Each structure stands twice: as structure tokens, then as C-alpha cells.
Amino acid sequence: MKILSDTLWVFFGNASARLISGIFTILLARFIGLEDYGIFVLALTCGAIFSQFADFGLQQTYIRAVNQELKNDRGLINTALVIRFILGIAACILLVLYSLIFVKESYLKPVLYLGLPYIFGMTFFNLIQGVDFATQNMRRASFCKILQTIFIVGSIALFIIIASPEEVHATSLSLFYGLASLGAGFTILIIAIRNSYKLPFFDMKQAKILLQGITGFMGTNIFFILSSQMPILVLQIFSSAIVLGAFSLIYRLPLVLLMVPTSIAQSFYPKLFKSNNSHIEYRSLIKIELISLVTLGLCLSISLDFMASTLLPMMVGDTDKFILQELKYAFSVTSWLIVIISISQLFSQILMTTGHQGRRALGQGLILIVSIAPYIIIGKNNNIIELAYVVVLIELALLLMYVYLVRCSLNKDIVNFLAKELMPYFIVALSIKLFETLIHSMITPGVVIDIILAMTACIIITGVSAIKLNLNPWMIVRRFNKV
């Protein structure tokens, strides 16, 4: 039940945070327009990529160290903080160099520079999240995530309310987003380490263990963030501003909601590292993780798909009907990224927790290189629907690459075991999609119909998961209330 309570706490924190972020994304895109929204997302994209250089794989090595080599070492958090601060400065320098060398548009450079405080904000926040995941303090991790989201969204909302309409644009929003991220990260850091000043400030032995094998983790983290942000970077160069903004909208919302299953996956890291020597326990854990990720991923993907006709008009407001129809179709396609990437993360974790992070990085790198050409070709055509299909196909290719690497690195039994667990979900998802298509062919789509279909689908999927895990819903609620 400890696994279940941890999963529920992580779900609560991230579901709340992503619900707030999702609503904020919808309202912001409608308020500032697609072109400014595209520039704003580009600034966040660069900040997210370079913040991975500040992380450098330290979160995974910290979790591994706490659960393996350095179980009883004190002051590890201070050592990790010093390393992260140095890497944060290096990441900021890299961002400045990138903007000077590769960004030709003069109006974009100041927007990208505003990602500097964002990098440090995420550096501080990710340190505390890593500590909480390593020590399995999921309750604090959840509340910290909600606090960070409320702080950032509240700061930007306050700015929009106070400022005049002329002052609200991509540059000013990027500035407030970066400063709010820094403020939230620093506040959470101070609260979390308020007693650690009594511990050693820096320990070379701890630093060596933290940095040991960090290259593989760093490569996988950077390739992971690049693969998800590559479409935005390519469109910024090869497409129009309106296409960049429109695609950013239908692409970013699924990625925002993807963080819910991603956080569930992160909560399993310490457990998988600990159980690595026990074949039976390890297989039991990955089964529970798979069911959790697929349940959340499918529920979110199907809900976005079914609600596309309702959500898109809310996000873009008054726009050309043909463009709106294109966006609805493309949004229905990109919504399935959530479940595809959720499944990919499980196979990715298997490689990382069994010492094959180097192979994972190689696989990611190959798919990333292959994906550049299709993004450029389709991006030049400014076809949003084709872009949506390309993104989904590339993520499917990455999933198949992970499956192949797990099969080669470990054995085919574990792949067959996971495929057997996935098959009922595939059948259920296909049946639900066919039923939805049939209903829409007979009845004109509407908000009420879409909500009923989405809720029904989520109930069916959750029921399948409960049966597979032999769960009693009332016992879960009672146990969670006690925790």
C-alpha cells in the first residue's frame, strides 16, 4: 500500500498543478493571440532545454546514491546544491552563446535572455524534487509542485490584471515567468534546507559518487527534452509566426498534461533502483507502474481527443473556420502523444535502472537526428495536420527503439510480459475510439456529448486497471485518508 499511497500523492500534486497550468495555457493563448503565444512558448522551450544542462542528470544520480551508495551520508543535499549552482551558471552561459550565434531575429534575443532566471528557478526546484523522490517523501513533493504552479501562474495573472493591454506581450510575460520561477524555486529551496546549514557544506567523496556515471543520465535527459522541443525549434526557423503559435498551442497542452504520468514514473525511480537485485519484485513494480502510466495516459489522451471541438474555440477565439477545423483535427492527433510517451517512459526507466542509460541515450540520439529532416520538410509547407502526424510517428519510433533496446539489453521475456499487460488497453482504446466515431456520425458533436463520452471512457479504462491490480476502490480511499 506504500506504493499506492505514494502514487496517489504524486497524482494529486501533479494533477492539481497541471489542471491549473492547462487552464492558464488556454486563457493565455486566447488573451495574447497566436503569434505572441508562439514567441512566449519558444522562450519557455529554450529555458527548458538549457535547464537540463543545469540538471546534468543529477536528479537520477542523487536518487541512485541515496538508495544505494550513500544511504547514511549526511550533508548530501548541500553537495548537490553546490554542483547544481555551478552547472546553472554554465547553462546560463550556454543559453547566451546560443542566442548570440544561432538566433538572428533581434526581437527574440531579449525574450530568450529572460530564460536565465527560469534556469536557476528550475535548478533549485528540481533539487528539492530529487530529494523528495529519493527519500520517498511524496507528500511534500506534491505540495511543492502545487506551490510552484500557483506562485508562477498567480504572478503572471496579477501582472496581466495590473498592466495595460499594451504592456502584456511575449517579452514581458517571459520576464515575469522567469522571475516567478526563480522566486518559487528559491522559496521552496529555503524551506526545504532550512536546517542543513548545520551539515557539511561540500564533500568531495559525495561529489565523486554523484558525478559517477552522470554522462549517461545527462545524455538521456538532454535528448529527452530536445526530442519533445525539437518541433518548436525547427518551426521557429522554417515556418511563419502564426503556424509556430498555432502548433505550439495544440502541442504544448498535451505536453503540460503529460507531466502527470511523468511524475508518477519519477516516483518509481527509487523503488526500481532498490529492487534491481530482486527479479520478482522488480517485475511486480514495473507492472504496477505500467498500469498506472497507461491508465493516466489513456484517460488524458482520450479526454483531449474527444474534447478537441470544445477546447479549440476556447483557446483561439475568433479565427478563420478553415484554420479552426485544421487545428481541431491536429489537436485530436497530438492528444495521443500523452499515452505514447507515457509508455515510452517505462521502457526508458527499465534501461536506466538496470545500468543501460548509455544505450538509452544512443537510441534517443539516433531518433532525434532522424526526426530533424521531416520537421524541416513539413515545417516549410506550414501544414499543421502533417506536423501533428509527424510528431506522433516520431514518438512511436522512439517507443519501438526503447522496446528493441530493452529486448537486446535484458531479455525478450520482460518485453513479452509488458506487451501482454498492454494488450487489453489497446483493445479497449480502439473500441472506444470506434464507438466515439460512430456516435459522432449519428449525432452532432457538442459539449455535453463530448464530456459524457470522455467520462465514460475514463471509467472503463480505470475499471480495467482496477481488475488487473485486484483493487477495491473503497479500501483505497480509506487507506489514502489514513495516510
More confident residue, 384 or 478: 384
Q: Distances from the Cα of 431 to the Cαs of 289, 397, 424, 438, in angstroms?
A: 24, 24, 11, 11
The boundaries of the domain holding residue 252 are: 238-483
The residue from 212, 229, 259 where one domain ends is: 212
3-state helix, strand, coil in the chain (%, to 5): 85, 0, 15
Q: In terms of domains, do 174 and 279 share one? A: no
Round to whole Å and give the CA distance between 446 and 437.
13
Q: Which of 27, 38, 16 is closest to 259 using CA atoms?
A: 16
Average pLDDT over residues 129-138: 75
Q: In terms of domains, do 175 and 320 share one? A: no
Residue 74 has pLDDT above 60, yes or no: no
Decide if 222 is inside a domain: no
Round to whole Å and give the CA distance between 76 and 202.
8
Lowest-confidence pick of 9-18, 310-319, 408-417, 446-455: 310-319
Helix axes 321-334, 241-267, angle to 10 degrees: 20
> Mean pLDDT in the chain?
78
pLDDT the model gives residue 483: 44
Cell numbers that stand for 114 in this block: 529572460
- Which distant-in-sequence residues (6+ apart) come within 8 Å of 243 by Cβ? 235, 379, 382, 384
User: Judging by beta carbons within 10 Å of its beta carbon (0-12, 13-18, 19+), is residue 278 exposed, middle or buried?
Assistant: exposed
Average pLDDT over residues 269-296: 80
Decide if 127 is inside a domain: yes
Give the predicted TM-score (pTM) of the model.
0.76
pLDDT the model gives residue 107: 67
- The neighbour count for residue 93, using CB atoms within 10 Å, is 13
Q: In terms of domains, do 44 and 134 share one? A: yes
Q: Which of 431, 41, 92 is closest to 253 using CA atoms?
A: 41
Q: Which of 11, 5, 24 is closest to 256 using CA atoms?
A: 24
Q: In terms of domains, do 7 and 122 share one? A: yes
Q: In terms of domains, do 193 and 72 share one? A: yes
Average pLDDT over residues 457-464: 89
pLDDT the model gives residue 311: 75
- In this structure, are residues 347 and 395 in contact, taking their beta carbons and an 8 Å threshold? no
Q: In terms of domains, do 285 and 427 share one? A: yes
pLDDT class of 201 with cuts at 50, 70, 90: low
Decide if 104 is inside a domain: yes
More confident residue, 265 or 369: 369
Cα–chain center distance at 431: 27
Decide if 120 is inside a domain: yes
Q: In terms of domains, do 331 and 397 share one? A: yes
For the ranges 213-222, 353-362, 461-470, the one whose mean pLDDT is highest: 461-470
pLDDT the model gives residue 396: 93
Q: In terms of domains, do 162 and 292 share one? A: no
Q: In terms of domains, do 251 and 176 share one? A: no
Average pLDDT over residues 16-45: 76
Cell numbers that stand for 199 in this block: 551539515
- Which distant-in-sequence residues (6+ apart) come within 8 Å of 80 by Cβ? 58, 62, 127, 130, 131, 210
pLDDT class of 113 with cuts at 50, 70, 90: confident
pLDDT class of 401 with cuts at 50, 70, 90: very high
Decide if 332 is inside a domain: yes
Round to whole Å and give the CA distance between 455 and 141.
28
Cα–chain center distance at 386: 23
DSSP-based three-state secondary structure for 356? coil
Residue 90: phi and psi, rounded to 5, are: -60, -40
More confident residue, 444 or 413: 413
- In this structure, are residues 337 and 197 in contact, taking their beta carbons and an 8 Å threshold? no
Round to whole Å and give the CA distance between 372 and 390.
11
Q: In terms of domains, do 350 and 316 share one? A: yes
Decide if 367 is inside a domain: yes
Residue 474 has pLDDT above 60, yes or no: no
Matching residue, cell 533496446: 405
What is the residue-wise DSSP string for 54-91? Answer: HHTTHHHHHHHHHHTTTTT-SSHHHHHHHHHHHHHHHH
Round to whole Å and give the CA distance between 152 and 275.
37
The residue from 178, 194, 212 where one domain ends is: 212
pLDDT the model gives residue 163: 82
pLDDT the model gives residue 476: 46
Cell numbers that stand for 323 in this block: 484554420
What is the residue-wise DSSP string for 91-146? Answer: HHHHHHHHHHHH---TTHHHHHHTHHHHHHHHHHHHHHHHHHHHTT-HHHHHHHHH
Residue 73 has pLDDT above 70, yes or no: no
Q: In terms of domains, do 116 and 18 share one? A: yes
Lowest-confidence pick of 159-163, 195-199, 227-231: 195-199
pLDDT tens across 59-70, in order?
Answer: 777 777 776 655
Average pLDDT over residues 236-257: 79
Q: Which of 94, 78, 89, 176 is closest to 127 using CA atoms?
A: 78
Decide if 314 is inside a domain: yes
- The neighbour count for residue 56, using CB atoms within 10 Å, is 23
pLDDT tens across 287-334, in order?
Answer: 888 898 999 899 999 988 888 877 777 766 656 566 777 888 888 899
pLDDT the model gives residue 378: 84
More confident residue, 390 or 175: 390
pLDDT the model gives residue 214: 65
Q: In terms of domains, do 321 and 198 share one? A: no
More confident residue, 212 or 342: 342
The residue from 212, 228, 258 where one domain ends is: 212
Decide if 280 is inside a domain: yes
Give ∠ CA 444-445-446 in degrees, rounded to 5: 115
What is the count of structural domains for the chain? 2
